[in-house]
Amino acid sequence: MKLTVKSILLTGLSGAGKTTLANMLSDFFELSNLPCTILDGDVLRKGLNSDLNFTREHRKENARRIAEVAKLFCNNGIIPIIPIIAPYQEDRSMIREILGAQDFFQIFVYCPLDICITRDPKGLYLKANLGIIKNFTGISSEYQEPNDSDLMVNTHEQTTQESFESIINRIVIQK
pLDDT of residue 10: 99
Burial 46-82 (b: 16+ CB within 10 A, else e): eeebeebebeeeebbebbeebbebbbebbeeebbbbb
Q: What are phi and psi of 17, to 5 degrees?
A: 120, 15
Q: What is the pTM of this model?
A: 0.94
Burial 101-110 (b: 16+ CB within 10 A, else e): eeebbbbbbb
Q: How many domains does the chain have?
A: 1
* Model pLDDT for residues 2-49, shown as the tens digit of each residue: 888 899 999 999 999 999 999 999 999 999 999 999 999 989 999 999
Low-confidence ranges of the chain (pLDDT < 70): 174-175
Range of the domain at 163: 2-173
CATH number at residue 53: 3.40.50.300
